[in-house]
Structure 1
């Protein structure tokens, strides 16, 4: 998810330079390689131990990764649109339209709380509709807003639980606090969706869409959607600030866990939402801030990736009994890492 999200971020920078697209394409190719590698490895696991699939889907923590699998597919489709469509023919545009609806149907059938895939499906719709014929673009746009609505409302319910736990309990353990950045994602990607769909509305929607004749419907949609996206952006920034203060407060006790990856994916949503908003307002100063945030995220991705590889090599993560956020469902004794 983080690698794919970073590739999408690089595809829509407010300030560009020679080679930026190439860097983005390299990130996209790396994302594809990682996705296929992980799918092969997890398939081998389930083939060698058939009961592991059922246990994984019912595990109180591991089951949530089923949702992130579908999010990763969304980001791949997003990158295909950004990096592939400009270099190919109309056949890819039609293929992406079909993939969008097939994907939406699949996640409707298999989605589990907290509805991760729908939180990025609206964002996918906003980028796909740019190259679609008007009839298809309208359908994708309407689908994107309703799918995003499901994701946002489900996440809003989860926010209530999150706040309740923060008020009634202490902060998470220091090593798990980077996971607090997950709360940034729902508001960030919903803000991004509203602004992006609003910007595209005058180009996609007929002037008399919904039977409105007094004012062009696309302009009306944009006038409401962009402020709504701006309204949500400060909420996701507040979650970002809360997570950042919590991490800094306990930084002395931090050690690498897989919870470090939320440093990237949710904050990409925060950055993209800001890029979308200030592209509309045409503020060069804020665009510079977005570029600085992108550089920081690239550096963070490299740092987390290096720590992840090192932790796997040492047996600190992805080894039975060594993942602090993966309790043993069977209640067996903890195993030790390899020498």
Structure 2
């Protein structure tokens, strides 16, 4: 759908990078790529597939690391250069450009388990480095989020599911650090960090990784409980209309579930923690089914993927423009209601046909053709499309 939008309206590709909300989700493309690579590494790399797949996945790992670093830096630079935010507008979605870096650790841990020697050690070192960047950037944004909660109360109901995004950084860091630490005794050579220090450094690093993971596991659950509690008032009043932010119920909590199993493994397969992980897995699967069903329902009811509805409100330059002869709001309300929407995709506009008593209005795409009575137009450099109605 988004590719079709860029194809039909090429100007929206650039506009998406400058949009204050949409630009935050551009790194999701890199996250999807990284998640696919992790799954291939987990279930594909091995003796049955041969050495060639291991080589390809190693090359793709380094490519992904470069993309993750590039995406996080570029998106934040664009935001800081073109947007102005206030603390009242702050949501955990601000963390999202750092999310591609948070996938590097789990990716490195899975790939290092399928390789050996210096190659595996290089992967682990790079994974620790990039995971540290992603988590520390997220941690600094955490402080802004907590300050926003202290001064502005909870976000409005439609944005409140995004609070679960704050669970993700800790969860992915746990999964990455613990899995990489468990591989160090196997891959670290004898003279790492000094002559004869290799074995000692590997075991100490593994123990420290386990304790760090346990520490962050508590932080992840704290944010999880706070996020769940924030939805109590919404659920009690039944004020939970669907929004695309509902998928925050799923993706960040996969990190918490994965982290729970990693902690259980680091504690010699602790039975109680493994049971908690199984409960989270079942709840996550049920939640995904519910959210997907609600999304289909919202599309049918035209609550999403519809002009001026939720994420499509003023997105990519859409704005409401009054045409010539439009009366003021009070007179329009007295004379009649607006008519139905009529799409004109060739001009990137959605035009509203007037009723007998109501004036014409339309939604226009940023930058377009100024049309004259003859049907010909000229390109305008401003942010509107002017059309005689």
Q: TM-score with structure 1 length normalisation?
A: 0.83
**Structure with higher strand content:** 2
Please give the alpha-carbon distance, in whole angstroms, between the structure 2 residues aligned to 1:107 and 1:287: 31
User: Could you tell me which of 96, 99, 102 is aligned with 2:57?
Assistant: 96
Correspondences of 1:265-276 after superposition (within 5 Å): 265-276=251-262
Which residue does 1:79 correspond to in 2? 39
On the 8 A contact 1:185/1:269 being kept in 2, the answer is: yes
Unaligned runs of 5+ residues in structure 2 are: 77-96, 322-337, 343-389
Residues 98-133 of structure 1: CA distance to partner in whole angstroms, max 9, x if unpaired? 001111122323323431100111111110111113
Of 139, 145, 150, 1:162 maps to: 145
Distance across 2 between alignment mates of 1:266 and 1:209 = 35
Give the distance between the partners of 1:75 and 1:149, measured in 2 at CA.
19
Query: Offset of 1:73 from its aligned partner?
Result: 0.7
List per-residue Cα deviations over 1:235-284 (Å, max 9, x = no partner): 11111011000012221211110011011111111111111111121211
Q: 2:314 & 2:163 partners in 1: Cα distance? A: 19
Q: Following the alignment from structure 2 to structure 1, what is the Cα–Cα distance between the partners of residues 44 and 234?
A: 43
Tell me whether 1:49 sits opposite 2:2 in the alignment: no
1:134 pairs, out of 108, 113, 117, with: 117
Q: Secondary structure at the match of 1:201?
A: helix
Residue in structure 1 matching 2:217, options 233, 241, 247: 233
Tell me the distance in 2 between the aligned counterparts of 1:191 and 1:284.
18
Q: Which of 285, 303, 320 lines up with 2:290 in the alignment?
A: 303
Worse-matched range after superposition: 41-50 or 147-156: 41-50
Deviation at 1:318, TM superposition (A): 2.1
3-state SS, counterpart of residue 155 of structure 1: helix
Partner of 2:307, secondary structure, is coil
Contact 1:208 1:216 (C-alpha < 8 Å) held by counterparts: no
Name the one with the larger helix percent: 1
Report SS of the residue matched to 1:316. coil
Instruction: Give structure 1 stretches of 5+ with no counterpart.
Output: 1-40
Note the C-alpha offset of 1:305: 0.9
The CA distance in 2 between the partners of 1:209 and 1:337, in whole Å, is 68
8 Å CA contact 1:61–1:325 kept in 2: the answer is no
Query: Residues 112 and 123 of structure 2 are in contact (CA less than 8 Å); yes or no, is this contact kept in structure 1?
Result: yes
Deviation at 1:66, TM superposition (A): 0.7
Alignment of 1:203-282 (within 5 A): 203-211=186-194, 213=196, 215-251=199-235, 252-281=238-267, 282=269
Counterparts of 2:226 and 2:26 in 1: how far apart (Å)?
A: 27
| 1:7 corresponding residue in structure 2 | none
Contact 1:206 1:217 in 2 (8 A): no
Q: 2:66 aligns with which of 88, 102, 105?
A: 105
2:341, 2:137 → 1: CA distance? 38
Give the structure, 1 or 2, with the largest relative contact order (CA under 8 Å, sep 6 or more). 1
* Alpha-carbon contact 1:320-1:337 (below 8 Å) kept: no
Contact 1:61 1:326 in 2 (8 A): no
* SS in structure 2 of the partner of residue 253 of structure 1: coil
- CA distance in structure 2 between the partners assigned to 1:160 and 1:191 by the alignment: 20
